[in-house]
Amino acid sequence: MTTKLKAALAALLIAGSGALVTETAAAAPATTLQELVPQPAQLQPRPEITFTLTATAKIQLSTPDARQPAELLAGILRPSTGYALPITDTVQGDGIVLTSGADPKTGPEGYQLDVTPKQVVIRANTPAGHFNAVQTLRQLLPAKAEAKTKQQGPWQVPGASILDHPRYHHRGAMLDVSRHFFTPDQVKRYIDQIAAFKINYFHLHLSDDQGWRLEIKSWPELTKIGGSTEVGGRTGKLFYTQDQYKDLVAYAAARGITTIPEFDVPGHTNAAQASYAELNCDGKKRPLYTGTEVGFSSLCINKEITYKFVEDVIREVAAITPGPYLHIGGDEALSTPDADYQTFMNRALPLVKKYGKTTVGWHEFVKTTKDTSTIPQFWGTTTTDENVAAAAKRGNKVLMSPANRIYLDMKYDKNTKLGLDWAGLVEVKDSYSWNPGAYLKGVAEQNVRGVEAPLWTETIKTSQDIEYMAFPRLPVAAELGWAQASVHNWDRFAPRLGAQAPRWKVQGIGFYASPQVPWKK
Ligand code: IFG
């Protein structure tokens, strides 16, 4: 019954009987508890409790695990509330407490969050748990908490007891900085945006036919020449120095995110082959390429220098990548004969191990190895792939990125100006309507490592372009990666997704207002 109808009915009763009719209890107002994305595993509303963050509140830590998460939270709330929000090492008084001693059910990435009248108490047993709790607390506060300038309060958090933990370990976002180059600040903006949804892996696609984007000291022409242009022909110093890359890795880590750098080999290599003649079988440099075709390039499989090149790249990148993974690409090697592809992987994969890292690769590579520690990233548009199923059977964990579900560069519909449509048109509901744990034949829940949403940038040039394509489907990927399979239901999820809109507006995110979603004003 609508509130208006209730009021009319109450008025009628009063008019009719003359007796004072107590106002029918209005339905509990929708609070931010019903708006959380991703949805927590366990949430018990405590409607009798409301916490209000006040000017004297402190952020109180009882574990060093919480230091960086606390600083992240303070960095978000100090500008919008105007409060000092000092971070203290003693737990005492009003404010936000980050402590250890979480229920073991929270596992390595979960947390508990309990709202009391004077404190919001976060318990987690790891830094990851505290980072994830901070992202939830952000969403429990009013949307204006996201503002960069001082807003009027009150800064209320609805009463609740939350015990949360993710469905999958790997919840990823990929940004292709090769087709179009993005500055460190543009990359950091995207890192900020994915962190808000508990994404914990950031995959940087750093080389392709159109650009080599990371300085390799032993092969300086890779960026001097290979990093001098992009799709469409813009020229400049379109690459990251190693210091800039390290800064991006640290920026992501300060938000609980592990960076996975990708150097795509043996295909997608024109930028490298335009930089060094000796990397080409005919000893001639390739011209720089600013188009958007794929599959025409291949390293020269039978030349020794190819493997010196690959080893030098892996060595230098591994040395500045604290995370355990390197991505070697391996996709669309259409100009590399199968036998040569096998030869190449036989030599490249051990090099990743030699430098202490674990290989991630687009799923084609997995037919070349029996190493079950390697991670095939499935990007197909089918629901069967015998090589991936065979690998899963051997014990490889599959990272799910089906292009016709979660490629963020796919057009939403035929009117979408940006993006491509080779995998089909992918509306928001299409991105949601699949189960990563039962999508690929022979790849069951226990064979899935997680979900990653790639954004390829053939047609994407600005942060606004990134945000139009990533929102709202990136939060959808985050929901699929985090929320329990049991709550997978579009009719329940869509309103939660729609309730994020005020927050995104405050953050200046120009999202696609899909007609499929009830957007909150
Ligand atoms: N496939 C290519 C990408 C990019 C993409 C655009 C993979 C693994 C099409 N490879 O996706 O380089 O061009 O949607």
Query: 409: Cβ below 6 Å to ligand 1?
Result: yes
* For the CA of 332, the nearest atom of ligand 1: 10
Residue 239 pLDDT > 50, yes or no? yes
499 vs 31 pLDDT, higher one: 499
Q: Tens of pLDDT along 19-61?
A: 333 334 445 567 889 999 999 999 999 999 999 999 999 999 9
Same domain, 157 and 180: no
Given a cut of 70, is residue 13 above it in pLDDT?
Answer: no
CB 224 within 8 A of CB 271: no
C-alpha to C-alpha distance for 88 and 301, rounded to whole angstroms: 58
Structural domain includes residue 514: no
pLDDT of residue 28: 56
CA gap 194, 201 in Å, rounded: 9
Q: Mark whether 107 and 180 lie in a shared domain.
A: no
Q: Which residues contact 237 (CB under 8 A, 6 or more apart)?
A: 223, 227, 228
Question: Which of 331, 366, 425 has most ligand 1 atoms within 8 Å of CB, for mutation?
Answer: 331
In a domain, 516, yes or no: no
Q: Whose CA is nearest to atom 6 of ligand 1?
A: 456
201 Cβ inside 6 Å of ligand 1: no
Share of the chain above pLDDT 90, in %: 94
Structural domain harbouring 143: 3-164
Give Cα separations from 237 to 211, 224, 484 (angstroms).
11, 8, 44
Q: Is residue 117 domain-shared with residue 218, that is, in the same domain?
A: no
Ligand 1 center to 255 CA (angstroms): 27
Q: What is the spatial distance between Cα 218 and Cα 237, in angstroms, rounded to a whole number?
A: 18
CATH of the domain at 19: 3.30.379.10
The number of the ligand 1 atom at minimal distance from the alpha carbon of 454 is: 11
Q: Which residue has the tokens 């082959």?
A: 273
pLDDT of residue 16: 41
For range 437-446, the mean pLDDT: 98
Ligand 1 geometric centre to CA of 99 (Å): 43
Residue nearest to atom 5 of ligand 1 (CA): 456
Ligand 1 in contact with 332 (CB < 6 A)?
A: yes
Residue 439, pLDDT > 80, answer yes
The whole-number pLDDT of residue 29 equals 62
Q: Which residue has the least CA distance to atom 3 on ligand 1?
A: 456
pLDDT at 31: 87
DSSP state of 85: -
Query: Which of 15-24, 179-188, 369-378, 475-484 is least confident?
Result: 15-24
- The tally of domains found in the chain comes to 2
Among protein residues, the one with the nearest Cα to ligand 1's atom 8 is: 331
Distance 461 CA to ligand 1 centre (A): 16
Do you know the residue count of the chain? Answer: 521
Is the per-residue pLDDT at 138 higher than 60? yes
Q: Are residues 56 and 193 in the same domain?
A: no
Q: Is the dihedral of CA 427, 429, 430, 432 positive or negative?
A: positive
79 found inside a domain: yes
Residue 347 lies in a domain: yes
Are residues 144 and 215 located together in one domain of the fold? Answer: no
Nearest CA to ligand 1 atom 4: 456
Cβ of 331 less than 6 Å from ligand 1 = yes
Residue 122 shares a structural domain with residue 212: no
Does residue 57 fall inside a structural domain?
A: yes
Same domain, 160 and 175: no
Q: Which two tokens stand for residue 347?
A: 């030599």
Q: Which of 164, 183, 206 is the last residue of a domain?
A: 164
Question: What is the per-residue pLDDT for 33?
Answer: 95
Q: List the beta strands (DSSP E) in 55-140.
A: 58-61, 87-88, 95-99, 111-115, 119-123
Q: Is the pLDDT of residue 496 over 60?
A: yes
Distance from the first to the final alpha carbon of the chain: 22
Q: Give me ligand 1 centre to Cα 495, in Å.
A: 32
Distance 420 CA to ligand 1 centre (A): 10
Does this model's pTM top 0.85?
Answer: yes
Asked whether 452 lines ligand 1 (CB < 6 A), one says no
Residue at which a domain ends, from 101, 131, 164: 164
Task: Classify residue 519: in a domain, yes or no.
Answer: no
pLDDT of residue 17: 39
Average pLDDT rounded to a whole number, residues 68-86: 98
- Structure-token pair, residue 452: 């990653």
Among 294, 334, 378, say which to mutate for ligand 1: greatest number of ligand atoms within 8 Å of CB.
294
CB of 365 closer than 6 A to ligand 1? no
Closest ligand 1 atom to Cα of 331: 8
- Condensed to tens digits (0 to 9), the pLDDT of residues 319-342 reads 999 999 999 999 999 999 999 999
Are 228 and 342 in the same domain? yes
Residue 456 CA to ligand 1 centre (angstroms): 7
Give, using CA atoms, the residue closest to atom 11 of ligand 1.
379
209 C-alpha to center of ligand 1: Å?
11
Is the CB of 379 inside a 6 Å radius of any atom of ligand 1?
yes
Domain-located, residue 517: no
Q: Where are the alpha helices (DSSP H) in 335-385?
A: 338-354
Catalytic annotation, residues: 332
Residue located nearest, by CA, to atom 7 of ligand 1: 331
Of 105, 135, 164, the residue that ends a domain is 164
pLDDT tens string 270-282: 999 999 999 999 9
- The pLDDT of 11-15, averaged and rounded, is 45
Ligand 1 atom index nearest CA of 422: 14
What average pLDDT is seen over the chain?
Answer: 95
CATH number for the domain that contains residue 371:
3.20.20.80
Same domain, 222 and 115: no
Tell whether 249 and 135 lie within a shared domain.
Answer: no
Pocket residue to mutate for ligand 1, from 375, 410, 456, most atoms within 8 A of Cβ: 456
Residues 301 and 334 in one domain: yes
Rounded to the nearest angstrom, the distance between the alpha carbon of 380 and the centre of ligand 1 is: 10
pLDDT surpassing 90 at residue 140:
yes
3-state secondary structure of 236: coil
Rounded to whole angstroms, the Cα distance separating 254 from 266 reads: 33
Residue 349: predicted pLDDT = 98
Could you tell me which residues come within 8 angstroms of residue 292 by beta carbon, excluding any fewer than 6 positions away?
Answer: 179, 210, 231, 458
C-beta atoms surrounding 316 within 10 Å: 18
Is residue 410 situated within a structural domain? Answer: yes
Residue 480 has pLDDT above 90, yes or no: yes
pLDDT over threshold 50, residue 455: yes
Query: Do residue 202 and residue 316 come from a single domain?
Result: yes
Q: How confident is the model at residue 428 (pLDDT cuts 50, 70, 90)?
A: very high
| Cα(453) to centroid(ligand 1), Å | 12
Q: Is 456 near ligand 1, meaning CB less than 6 Å away?
A: yes
pLDDT digits (tens, 9 = 90+) for 141-198: 999 999 999 999 999 999 999 999 999 999 999 999 999 999 999 999 999 999 999 9
Ligand 1 center–CA 294 separation, angstroms: 8
- Does ligand 1 have an atom closer than 6 angstroms to the CB of 202? no
Name the DSSP letter for residue 29: P
Question: Nearest-CA neighbor of 151 among 77, 63, 224?
Answer: 77
Could you tell me if the CB of 420 is within 6 A of ligand 1? yes
